[in-house]
Amino acid sequence: MASNPVFRRFNQDLAAGRYAGDQQPQYGQFGTPQQQQAAQYGAQPGYPQQPYGQQPYGQQQYGQQPNYAQPGYPQQGYGQQYGQPQQYPGAGYATGPGKQAPYTDSRRMTLDDVVTKTLALFGILLVAAAFGWFVAKDSQAAGMGLFLGGMVVGLVIGLVISFKRIISVPLILTYAAAEGLFLGAASAFFNQMYPGVVSEAVLATLCVFAGMFAGWKFGLIRVTERSRKIFAMMVMGYFLFALINVVLVWTGVFSSPFGAGGSGSLGIIISLFAVGLASYSIAVDFDTIQRGVNSGLPEKYSWLMAHGLLVSVVWLYVELLRLFARMRN
């Protein structure tokens, strides 16, 4: 959860002009609404477009007698204006103003689509988290099973979604459910050891989320190509640190369940650094979603955008939970 490869891959593909999917439009293929209305299939900018097999008005082809039909081509009636759309047998599309190129019949992704899918994923996560919470409170063994199972399944499915070239909605829904079971069980364990810490972490997550959105929206927090690269390197470094930290805790090298730094000042500094990374990750997600909408992605990509935002919010909540638990000690 310490990185968000979903949006990182998207930004790399977008910067390189590549398309992160099979048999779907490339990023930016749709263009702006004005460009869609003005552009026709096969039209060249700056030159009048003429349908195939149609002669300009008042001009006849070499060797062609006027008022006689040419074999193999439909005869153009008198009075048909220059540049008027013309249908041909076997054409899979129509030309003319307002018509789009092949693949553009797919509805474009909007911010409303992303918001709707995000709410749906969070709804699934909350239901699964409530189930994991009550199971962990009643049975510690069953709760530990949900904790480990949800963590492993979520990690595997998350990696598959991140590097899979085709968007799989069932996998995204399954990831939300697995993360919910993991978070519910983990929250129950933390709340038993540190009563009230879960409420603090939930409230802090909502506040940070709202603050990062406001900061990004009003330009107080800027996301640039340079900041993206620096952020990506910092996240990779923290991910390696967190992985080594988990291994050392499980092998008994660190006696504290928090690992390096424990509950002391060093541990709190590490948690603050992680919270800062997770917070900026949300701002990067907002900017990436906006870029995706501006690029005219198909509506199905709203599931991928919602999944990426879910990953960052879950990461932020876990880091805040660890921070407040450390501060309790």
For the segment 143-161, what is each residue's pLDDT rounded down to a tens digit?
Answer: 999 999 999 999 999 999 9
Most distant CA pair in the chain, distance: 97
The amino acid occupying position 31 is: G
pLDDT tens digits along 89-112 = 333 334 444 444 333 447 899 999
Q: Which residue has the tokens 């879960």?
A: 198
Non-local (6+) Cβ contacts of 92 within 8 A are 102
pLDDT tens per residue, the chain (329 residues)?
Answer: 434 556 666 666 666 665 444 334 433 344 444 444 444 444 444 444 444 444 444 444 444 444 444 444 444 444 444 444 444 333 333 444 444 433 344 789 999 999 999 999 999 999 999 999 999 999 999 999 999 999 999 999 999 998 888 899 999 999 999 999 999 999 999 999 999 999 999 999 999 999 999 999 998 998 989 999 999 999 999 999 998 998 888 888 887 888 888 888 899 999 999 999 999 999 999 999 999 999 888 999 999 999 999 999 999 999 999 999 999 87
Q: Is the pTM of this model over 0.85?
A: no
CA distance 318 to 34: 44
Q: Give the span between the Cα atoms of 285 and 96, in whole angstroms.
A: 38
Query: Long-range contacts of range 164-167, CB-CB < 8 Å, 24 or more positions apart?
Result: 165/20, 165/21, 165/22, 166/21, 166/22, 167/21, 167/300, 167/301, 167/303, 167/304
- Distance (Å, rounded) from C-alpha 293 to C-alpha 110? 6
Q: Give, to the nearest 10 degrees, the angle between helix 301-328 and helix 111-138.
A: 40
What are phi and psi for residue 158, nearest 5 degrees? -60, -40
Q: Please state, in angstroms and rounded to a whole number, the distance separating the CA atoms of residues 143 and 132.
A: 7
Quickly list H helices, the chain. 5-16, 33-38, 111-138, 140-163, 169-193, 197-217, 225-250, 265-294, 301-328
Amino acid at 327: M
Rounded CA separation 282/291 (Å): 14
Tell the burial category of 136 from Cβ atoms under 10 Å away from its Cβ (0-12, 13-18, 19+).
buried
* Per-domain boundaries in the chain: 107-328
